[in-house]
Structure 1
């Protein structure tokens, strides 16, 4: 029996990341919804202070002045104007910010001639935006414990999120910890973990995919990481591993978030910080890895994270060593789990020595079961009953 699809809807997606350059759950989901849906993808506004912390933010002035930008026939991107800082610290500031953004969003919606849209949000602070855009359905896709972010006031964020959870018609969460924490406040909640662009990352195994040139001549084994280096990535763990194993090459592919200190890693000759690479070429870098690592710091934020890179590693077929995250531990038979540098070192050795075609096939099978296509199908299945009432 053919599953019904979510079709012919106008969707306002309030995202926490810009459409480019780093693709996360938001873009993966929106780009896979049937093309009969029209989507306004709203990028996060920067605050008046943001460019002084991160000069790359100045470009957002330009994208705001551009207005609506068409990504493809049914997806439009919009970068709102600057807002006041400290909205995630003071409720009043957030209310002012959402009130300021409302007419700009209404103008974009009017220009696209949206009718009875679905509001699909990823941000707790949009609790003060709900009800102002003429939406017929509110979806909150909760991908992190936002109250645990550095620089946010937990009480403020939790208060906003509780309000949003109560207003939302459907809540999706990515991890069991989030499900347990948010469920008491929801009308309806569903656990939909993250996933991988399986077809893309399986190109790692394609004989025609070349090894990235920066990796060709590195001493083996190559221990690799792909992703943004945020404050929850344990750079101390990576540095200690590199010091313990000077003959191994450690490669980090991805940009460092503003304020992240990489001094210790930069000082180590066997650590190679390659910066951001286009998503299209990531399989070439994974192809040059012998083992992929998932080195998260263990804290309140990561206790409820569903790591994208973990599923992408599985889809590449490469061995994986990870810290014991609740969302990773169920796969402990397929990947190595370690906490301390000593354990990590040993588990990397184990992964190298025990690698076999059967283990790779098992990882690929799990990856196939965790594709974005499947996740989007699950989401549509949960949404459709609300539109048929």
Structure 2
């Protein structure tokens, strides 16, 4: 079926970490034309980027000094079209609903003009909209996309996001009732979003299998000194008691944390500062994908020590399949439904169980077990997820086209 996909994204195209939206849209681009409407940068973002631009924000395109629409050749050989829209007025700090909504309409007007011009340049009049975790502009742009099929892709609990705490839940609930279909990334999200739209499907997170399998090293070839690792953001989701217990229970084993540490949050800093003084505990900071592979090659076990609450129940963590693709033994808390992984991972219901699972892997893991984990990860590649999403969009297109 011939139709384009217009992705109104929250994640920015630029960046050096894996984003599910970009992974899925990159896979879709192998099957059909995709217009990726980039993150809506604010005037404040642009001014700051003029003087310092660590995130490589495309300032010239945002300001219109260069063509806003660019085509990018992806690693899979496909082409994706990325649109940088004009800067918007920052409004997330505004608490009063009438003023916020009025300024959102103003921002959306300029966004809509840029998107409609890009669609005209691409000669695209037949498309499906995928709004990626961006319900405010989903609402603001809704009438600009009628009568086309509109879907909402939700990959996290928006109420737990600091930037969206004032208006996110309200706008998301409103937007989900407007769209034709909702797509979520986990069972937890499917359960929490059902009250707002009965048409809902799950496309779970995947893994760049080829990349992370480069970190595969047979246990028999790894160093004798054991290493337990965590990759990902260190924030309020972490059970810090587990991290402390690991370091103390296994003094001859290195505990290595690779990722951003959000210690600008007082509740995180209070927990991470004492860990820094433990001799076998290391915070390595965020790393590029290439550098990350070198760490994974050295790890014996990958851990996911999340606390169990409403926010984490909605997570399908990408790091599970990333660990598995590298052949690592995985120990996770029971923060979310993980039964689909069967015996490929170890799920602990409390701290003592977590420590015991780690101990068993350190003592009894094998090369054969590694191969089984790799096979599991290969089934969950982004390529497979992209095929699933493409099939779902085709079904929606056929359904709503026949109804028209």
Residues 13 and 41 of structure 1 are in contact (CA less than 8 Å); yes or no, is this contact kept in structure 2? Answer: yes
1:360 to 351, 364, 370: 370
1:249 aligns with 2:244: no
Q: Deviations over 1:59-95 (max 9, x none)?
A: 5372623533432162122343143232795544253
The equivalent residue for 2:115 is 105
Pair 329,386 (structure 1): closer, same or farther in 2 beyond 3 Å: closer
User: Does the aligned pair in 2 maintain the 1:88–1:157 contact within 8 Å?
Assistant: no
- Higher mean Cα deviation, 349-358 or 290-299? 349-358
CA contact (8 A) 1:102 1:133 kept: no
Residue in structure 2 matched with residue 188 of structure 1 by the alignment: 199
- 2:302 matches 1:298: no
TM-score, normalised to structure 1's length?
0.83
Structure 1: where are the runs of 5+ without partners?
1-5
Aligned to 1:3: none
Distance 1:342 1:49 in 2: 47
Specify every segment of 5 or more residues in structure 2 that has no aligned partner in the other structure, as ranges. none
For structure 1, which segment, 320-329 or 225-234, has the greater mean C-alpha deviation from structure 2 after superposition?
225-234
In structure 2, what is the equivalent of residue 85 of structure 1? 91
Are 2:150 and 1:138 aligned? yes
Q: 2:24 aligns with which of 23, 29, 32?
A: 29
Which of the residues 299, 310, 316 maps onto 2:326?
316
Offset, 1:306: 0.7
Tell me the distance in 2 between the aligned counterparts of 1:108 and 1:258.
40
The match for 1:42 among 33, 37, 44 is 37
Q: Is the 8 A contact 1:165 1:186 kept in 2?
A: yes
Query: C-alpha separation between the residues in 1 aligned to 2:216 and 2:172?
Result: 42
Which residue, 3, 8, 13 being the options, matches 1:14? 8
1:269-310 alpha-carbon deviations (Å, 9 max, x no partner): 323332332224533321110100112232211111111111
> In 2, distance between residues paired with 1:57 and 1:86?
22
Are the equivalent residues in 2 in contact too, given 1:205–1:287 (CA < 8 A)? yes
Q: Distance between the aligned counterparts of 2:187 and 2:336, measured in 1?
A: 8
Distance 1:304 1:106, change over 3 A: same
The alpha-carbon deviation at position 195 of structure 1 amounts to 1.8
CA offset at residue 368 of structure 1? 2.5
Q: In structure 2, the residue corresponding to 1:362 is in which secondary structure?
A: helix
SS at match of 1:205: coil
SS at match of 1:345: helix
SS in 1 for 2:162: coil
Tell me how many residue pairs correspond in the alignment: 374
The question of whether the paired residues in 2 share the 8 Å contact of 1:89 and 1:152 is answered with: no
1:30 deviates by 1.0
TM-score between both structures, scaled by the size of structure 2 = 0.80
Q: Is the 8 A contact 1:49 1:85 kept in 2?
A: no
